[in-house]
């Protein structure tokens, strides 16, 4: 007998399982706070220049809206496409991996459960082709 609802519907959206906008915004804030001053990433002149030009609160706003929308929440992301926002940065595969490491550390710090972490990483991974322009 087939269930009337899928397991995901029974559990709620990823947005709901993460606790909604407040916890998402806290995780994003901590992620941006760790990402912006990262010396490994800022070795790239393009990334370093962008960090100095784009205020962290602006990044937090857009990344929070994007994560809220991508996880099934009520927010609407109105920023640039990932390709347009990152093309001038010439992000390498190694820089992408460093960003993922930071993101995973922040998720672990906030004790995001394994299933939700996997789903969030899937969302992030879905943007890789639009962000990474140089593979190692």
> What CATH number did the domain enclosing 36 receive?
1.10.490.10
Domain assignment present for residue 4? The answer is no
Angle between helices 21-35 and 56-70 (to 10 degrees): 140
> Would you state the pLDDT for residue 38?
96
* Residue 57 to residues 29, 30, 40, 61, Cα–Cα distance (Å): 8, 11, 21, 6
Q: Which pLDDT value is given to residue 8?
A: 44
Which residue segment(s) compose the domain that 102 sits in? 19-134
Q: Is residue 53 included in any domain, yes or no?
A: yes
- In a domain? residue 6: no
Kindly state the tokens that stand for 76.
Answer: 């609407």
Instruction: Evaluate whether residue 12 is within a structural domain.
Output: no
Residue 113 φ then ψ, to 5°: -60, 155
Q: Say how many domains are in the chain.
A: 1
CA of 18: how far to CAs of 14, 21, 33, in Å?
6, 8, 20
Please tell me whether residue 120 adopts helix, strand or coil conformation: helix
Share of the chain above pLDDT 90, in %: 89
Which regions of the chain are under pLDDT 70? 1-10, 135-136
Q: For residue 3, is it within any domain?
A: no
Domain assignment present for residue 94? The answer is: yes
What is this structure's pTM?
Answer: 0.88
Q: Where are the alpha helices (DSSP H) in the chain?
A: 7-11, 14-18, 21-35, 45-53, 56-70, 82-86, 93-109, 114-125, 128-131
């Amino acid at each position: 007998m087939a269930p009337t609802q899928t397991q995901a519907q029974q559990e709620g959206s990823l947005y709901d399982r993460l606790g909604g906008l407040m916890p998402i915004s806290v995780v994003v804030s901590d992620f941006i706070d760790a990402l912006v001053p990262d010396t490994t990433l800022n070795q790239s002149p393009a990334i370093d220049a962008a960090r100095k030009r784009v205020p962290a609160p602006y990044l937090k706003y857009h990344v929070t809206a994007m994560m809220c929308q991508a996880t099934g929440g009520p927010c609407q992301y109105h920023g640039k496409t990932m390709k347009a926002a990152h093309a001038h940065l010439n992000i390498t595969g190694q820089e992408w991996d460093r960003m993922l490491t930071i993101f995973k550390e922040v998720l672990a710090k906030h004790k995001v459960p394994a299933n939700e972490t996997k789903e969030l990483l899937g969302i992030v991974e879905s943007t890789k082709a639009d962000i990474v322009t140089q593979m190692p």
